[in-house]
Structure 1
Amino acid sequence: MSEITPQAVAGMLARVRQARPRVHCLMNSVVQKFTADGITVIGGIPSMTGSLEEVESFVGRADALTVNLGTLDAERREAIRLGVAVARGQGRPWIVDPVHCDYSPSRLAFARELIALQPTVVRGNRAEMALIGETPGILRIVTGPVDLLQLGEASVEIGNGHPFMAQVTGTGCLSGGVIAAFMAVEPDALAAAAAALTVTGVAAERAAPHARGPGTFAAAFLDALATVGDTDILHHARIRHDQPEHE
């Protein structure tokens, strides 16, 4: 893995904005609009349908897929299975967010079913990822005040973000969509995800001074994602690499 620098992050953001990748989202119905807005303002093109009659066609036109288990029912499970099959068949990058798998045994079983299909990324909080366990060959992201990304022996920590993000439902789902957009233009999944989380974290830091609280932060965050640029990233990115030790 080459070092992920602020310059590389800025370059990937420019590629997303130029390529305008299509990202299909099978996710929490509570946060669909916020996630779609986030993907749009960063430069991507979102689609959100979970219809069993349409999901295969929509995923077939997408450059990347993000799967979020937030509001899960029998029909959504089947739509996810159909969408994942198309993404795998076309060799598209896809991400699984096993939301609240620590709350429900059936949800955990479904998350493990999906992870057995080798997604590009699995992303969750500390409790969720502790239950998921090891994910050989899959980029593993443990979210928190500092996000930890691990793939094999390589790991990266992203220190950007703001506490308001934890007070607005959907910021994590939105960042999953942004990761998918970056993976559509960058084949190195670790580099793409690190860049996406850096961009969203820097945007959150830019937005916070303009917010009076979580409600106004959500709007300011979208504005900041739309306008975040090279200077912001070069001056404020907090990326730390943990290189593997060699004897």
Structure 2
Amino acid sequence: MINGLTVDLEDWYHICGVEGYSDPQKWDTYENRIIRNTDKVLTLLRTYKVKATFFVLGYIAFKEPGLIKTIKSEGHEIATHGFYHKRIFEMTEREFEEDVNKSISVISSNINERVLGFRAPEWSIRKNTLWMLNALRKYGILYDSSMVPLTRMGYRDYPVYPCCYNTDYGKIWEFPLTTTRLFWERLPFTGGLPLRLCPYFYIVSEIKKINRMGFPAMVYIHPWEFDKEQPRIDLPLSRRFMHYFNISATPRKTEGLLSNFQFAPIKNILGITT
């Protein structure tokens, strides 16, 4: 079974809903660490001969076109993470379309290729924002990876494994966040804080269990999780824990997963071609 490996290409200050830091007008004043941190990720992928999907912020593609071309030249898929890293439920349909379209335009001009996939910042698709699937398909996106089948974070009835949705513009694939059942709820464990928090043996055993059932799992990482020296933002306690706890574990656990499982870009797993 081949699993999906994804990288949310965002810098250390791209945090949603944090006063000051979530204001794009201030982003140019912050230290740029995206190139050095992405190089760490690319080196690791090169070592294990693994290709991934990079969900790229349009803002980064605009500021660092050479980085996007480098990622593409190494055989990785380039998808979009929106332009300004705004959560969907904070935007109107029109604002969302403008943000997505802008990101697609900038990214596709860098790679001379169609952008096929999208991931919402902070997995922010909710039950009342499913209109975004229609908007994505309208602009040529063929798959989304934003749904979380959880009660508070996403919507409990979202799909657990890859599936298709019908829109006014044709079918669109959904590859939801990988979760495991714990009592009456589902919990994520393959990226971000859950990856850093869960014991490595548990992560491996749960991925193997999903694979035995005939489904792929999906791992996600961020370049800033490979940077212990990044500037620290004064976040509320809960957000600080979520963002920084056990950050040194990400490179180690990612390397372990790369050595134990086979991975590929999302478009390959879903069999999407253009």
Return the structure number with greater helix share: 1
Q: State the TM-score, normalizing by the size of structure 2.
A: 0.39
